[in-house]
Amino acid sequence: MLGTDVHFYNDEDGQQSFHSFVAQYQRTKAWRIEDHGSFIHVVSQLPGRHIEIYANKFSEDEKGVSDIEAVFRERHITPSVIVHRGHSPYVDNTIAKNPARRSAGLSRQLWGVHAVGCGPQSSP
């Protein structure tokens, strides 16, 4: 399984990015979207491709992030990829949740060049 953990933040960019993210998966029957209240779970419907994406809904309390972490623990999932969807002030929050064995993907990041350098330095 290819698991992905996508982080959205509660600012204008995070809210717009979240809605755009959901819309791209709603346009095709190749993906199923499950709404879990504080986060969504997107699952590939194509045969031979087991891809799961967990994305928190933007909120002040980051409940979606903790709820996703609980699902990962319960299902013994270690996502292969973590994606940051937000402005640079939040990059450190995303990277802090990035175990060394995950790849870091920074999307639409103003200072992404600097942030990308942070992830690999903390990985073995």
The DSSP-derived string for 16-36 is HHHHHHHHHHHT-TTEEEEE-
Among 44-53, 97-106, 110-119, the range scoring the smallest mean pLDDT is: 110-119
pLDDT in tens, 71-97: 999 999 888 887 777 666 677 777 776
pLDDT for residue 48: 87
69: left (phi over 0), alpha (psi -120 to 50) or beta: alpha
Helix (H/G/I), strand (E/B), else coil: 30: coil
The CA distance from 75 to 71, in Å, is 6
| All structural domains of the chain with their residue ranges | 2-119
pLDDT band at 114 (very low <50, low <70, confident <90, very high): very low
Architecture of domain 2-119: 3-Layer(aba) Sandwich (3.40)
- Higher pLDDT among residues 104 and 10, named by residue: 10
Residues 6 or more apart whose Cβ sits within 8 Å of residue 121: none
Q: Six-digit token pair at 114?
A: 């600097």
* Pairing mode of beta strands 51-56, 103-107: unpaired
Dihedral, 16, 13, 73, 1 alpha carbons, nearest 10: 60
- Higher pLDDT among residues 67 and 88, named by residue: 67
pLDDT in tens, 91-112: 777 777 665 544 445 444 444 4
